[in-house]
Amino acid sequence: MTKRNWIITIVLILIVSTNTITAQMGEVKKENAAVKNTDPLKGLKKASFKDIKSNGPIMINPKTTPTYSEDHVLLNEQDFGEKMSSGDYELDPYADDRMELKAFVLRKATEEEKEMFKQRKKKREEARIASEALIGKEAMPFSVTDIFGKKYSLADLKGKVIVMNFWFVECKPCLMEIPELNELVEKYKNKEVVFLGFSTNPKSKIDEFLKTKTFKYNIIAESKNKADLYHVNSFPTHFIIDKESKIAHYASGFGPTTIEDLDKVIEKLLNK
């Protein structure tokens, strides 16, 4: 093949390659445009929470249920948390024809809903203050039976450190901390420490949960009355009672140092 023919061949190859790439880019743009114009809520309809078919309480979690802004833009956990904590938004569930939950969409809250949010926030803050005020005081007496039939009472546990966890099965932060709580139980299993898990769920729900999950606390079912006794209205909440039956520690929510703080208080109380 002559030099001239080589040059012509190379030019033709470049032309064909360029046309192919251009065509492919055109297809990609069409696909992107199609994706952009696709309504994520297509085929779904706005519903009320009471109409949704569910085997248990509805979990509001953007990681498991797609959650969108008013403009139908998918929200990540941080954006979702910021918007919901502002009190300016409410959630509408969207369901399919079988009324099964498929998505949530944020909308601007009404003035009435904003006021309700403020009232709930105020109650939570009042409960937090009331719980913190219990530190250093005598623990409220209790007598309970766990899901396996074992009995516990404040009077019988005097002389031991009591670690109390208020939780429920549908509470995501409650479930997130369980592996670390289990490690805490293992660490102190040969010490004078008793771990009690006060759940608001009925025993049947807890039994079902424990078929696939492990929670090493001694679990007491249907404990809403005990939660009220300790002014608990947010979950998870922890209390630690010292050997003299006085409240030594309180923590609400699951933060980066929650379990570490529990560990330090237990260790300190054991060494007193």
Give strand pairing partners of 251. Answer: 238
Cis peptide before 179 (omega within 30 of 0): no
For residue 161 the two structure tokens come to 């450190």
How far apart CA 249 and CA 139 sit, in angstroms, is 11
Hey, CA dihedral for 127, 59, 53, 118, is it positive or negative?
Answer: positive
Predicted confidence at residue 6, as pLDDT, reads 45
What percent of the chain stands above pLDDT 70?
A: 84
Give strand pairing partners of 103. Answer: 94
Instruction: Give tens-digit pLDDT for 58-81.
Output: 667 787 889 999 889 999 888 888
Cβ–Cβ under 8 Å, residues 126 and 73: no
Instruction: Give tens-digit pLDDT for 218-251.
Output: 999 999 999 999 888 889 999 999 999 999 999 9
Three-state DSSP class for residue 2:
coil
What percent of the chain stands above pLDDT 90?
A: 53
pTM: 0.63
Superfamily of domain 135-270: Glutaredoxin (3.40.30.10)
Question: For 199-207, which contacts have Cβ atoms below 8 Å and span 24 or more sequence positions?
Answer: 199/166, 199/167, 199/168, 199/169, 199/223, 200/166, 200/167, 200/168, 200/224, 200/227, 201/168, 201/169, 203/147, 205/56, 205/169, 206/147, 206/169, 207/147
Tokens 């006060």 belong to 198
Cβ–Cβ under 8 Å, residues 198 and 165: yes
Is 33's pLDDT higher than 70? Answer: no
Please compute, for residue 199, the number of CA atoms within 13 A of its CA located in the half-sphere on the CB side: 26
Predicted confidence at residue 133, as pLDDT, reads 80
Predicted confidence at residue 11, as pLDDT, reads 41
Q: Which of 4-13, 33-42, 182-191 has the highest mean pLDDT?
A: 182-191
Cβ–Cβ under 8 Å, residues 146 and 220: yes
Q: DSSP string covering 137-148, please?
A: SBPPP-EEE-TT
Q: Which residue has the higher pLDDT, 80 or 32?
A: 80
Q: What are phi and psi of 256, to 5 degrees?
A: -65, -25
Give strand pairing partners of 153. Answer: 143
40 falls in which pLDDT band (50, 70, 90)? Answer: confident
270 contacts: CB under 8 Å, gap ≥ 6? 161, 188, 191, 192, 193
How far apart CA 264 and CA 163 sit, in angstroms, is 12
Instruction: Give tens-digit pLDDT for 75-132.
Output: 988 888 888 888 899 989 999 999 998 999 999 999 998 888 888 778 777 777 877 7
Rg (the chain; Cα; Å): 28
Domain definitions of the chain by residue range: 45-110, 135-270
Instruction: Give tens-digit pLDDT for 196-215.
Output: 999 999 999 999 999 999 99
